[in-house]
Amino acid sequence: MVALKQLAETSGGNISDETLFRLIAEDLETQGYSIRHGALPDDIANALFLYQQDLNANKYAKAGIGRGNDFLKNKFVRTDEICWITGESEAGRMWVDWSSKLQRFLNQKLFLGLFSFESHFAHYPPGAYYKRHYDAFRGETNRVLSVVTYLNPSWGQNDGGELVIYQDEHDHEGVKVAPAFGTIVVFLSEEFPHEVLPATRDRYSVAGWFRVNTSINNNIDPPR
């Protein structure tokens, strides 16, 4: 187990929520995505890290594509393991609170109409991957904004496991992001195909999605 003090030092102190949210909003406005290193507040990062490390292995479900009746375990597309965050734990609550502050800020600044948030821990064992995909398809979903943050202290250049964000369906080069501790990536769910490359070590992250309200006849579409 890595000492807390050491973890906090890896991100080197944080800017204020307000400043970070403003930078994320500006990035989203100018390029549709935001990559911010060491941005996740240290107390939240450390709490999530410790919680995820303690997660009983059997709490992880093999990640499937889709949800509910569509739930389909598809080894060809992704091989990670996930655990949904419900806010029952202190770590989960801290994360959910921070996310709702971000949600409020982005709604005020960018009028995104974000209505709800869902998120999960993900563990990619060595060699695991998530092939190129969109988090949302135009007209088919209410996922608007994706957020990913990483909980891997001292990630090395040769450890692999990068998130690759592509500009559009024709882009095959992309922008690579190492899953380093405290890095936050936010992007418009319908705009950017992306993938997770295999890593040589265990890769830990939290992925979340802000949704708009698509309730019909006052029947609120539940987050999951």
Name the site residues for Mn ion (rule: CB under 5 A).
135
Under rule CB under 6 A, how many of the chain's residues touch ligand OGA?
Answer: 9
The site partner of 148 among Mn ion, ligand OGA, none (C-beta below 5 to 8 Å per kind) is ligand OGA
For residue 122, the minimal CB distance to ligand OGA (Å) is 6
Return the residues of window 153-172 that contact ligand OGA according to CB under 6 A. Answer: 163
By C-beta, is 109 or 125 nearer to ligand OGA? 125
Q: Which is nearer to Mn ion, 104 or 133 (CB)?
A: 133
Minimum CB separation of residue 186 from ligand OGA in Å reads: 12
CA atoms of 146 and 163, how far apart (whole Å): 13
Structural contact between residues 105 and 199, judged by C-beta atoms closer than 8 angstroms: no
Residue 42 or 204 having the CB closest to Mn ion: 204
Name which of residues 131 to 150 contact ligand OGA (CB under 6 A).
135, 148
Q: What is the contact mask toward ligand OGA in residues 193 to 222, using x (rule: CB under 6 A)? A: -x-x--------x-x---------------
Residues that bind ligand OGA (CB under 6 A): 122, 130, 135, 148, 163, 194, 196, 205, 207
